[in-house]
Amino acid sequence: MLTPIEESYSDCPRLFCLPFAGGSGSGYRHWGTLTNDVTIVPVRLPGREGRILEPIPDRVETLVEQLVVELRSMLDGPFGVYGHSFGAIVAFELARKLERQGFSPRRLIVAGRAVPDDASIGSYDALAAPAAELFRGLERELVEVLRPAWEGDMVMSTAYRYSGSTQVHCPISAYFGMSDPWDGESSMSGWKFATTGEFAMRGFPGSHMFAFDESPKAVIAALVEDIGT
């Protein structure tokens, strides 16, 4: 289910936002208050919020097939796709699937997740370590509510296989937190090989969750520049 923040901004380019592992569309809700130049469209995935009773797919490809159907009615104008951490993988595969169906994003923005490879998937510490940031300060009861979605997303993430020959044609921007111990500038630079189009990188103050904690306003300004022009 997709929830546009402000219908009055429907003439602006839309940005479909995929959450990090265990996250939900509501994590992007405040972004819509920071700009009138891009319509922020949080994507609510199965197994959380109003979709809590829906089963979580066990493969990214299955999830993307479902999202394409749900997105189709909103592809009548310019749009971009954003994904943070685990969401970056989903955003990449979503952009690739949409391109094959004739819908080309203005830009794909990936944040806080390097391009995975076969060597890193099984032992990729960054899959689990950022959960400490997600769950920090939350009551135990709330953590237990969030944990099933996080675990389901981990199943998809660890099963995912990226092929170096698999590319999108739209431009890619890679965003990273300058203090991120897992997915900083060097690891994010690998996304340049995932597109036949333009590639750009942007660094922001903060760690793995920089787009939500330390630098949301700076990230929004960058998104407007990347998507809204």
- Residue 136 to residue 218: CA distance in whole angstroms: 23
Q: What is the DSSP letter of 34?
A: S
| Residue 205 identity (one-letter amino acid) | P
Q: Which residues are catalytic?
A: 85, 208
Extract the runs of DSSP E, i.e. beta strands, from 69-115. Answer: 79-84, 108-111
Q: With CA atoms as reference, report the closest residue to 36 among 15, 12, 16.
A: 12
SS3 199: strand
Residues 6+ apart with CB under 8 A from 201: 173, 174, 175, 176, 185, 188, 189
Extract the runs of DSSP E, i.e. beta strands, from the chain. Answer: 14-18, 39-42, 79-84, 108-111, 172-177, 199-204
Asked if residues 181 and 207 have their Cβ atoms less than 8 Å apart, the reply is: yes
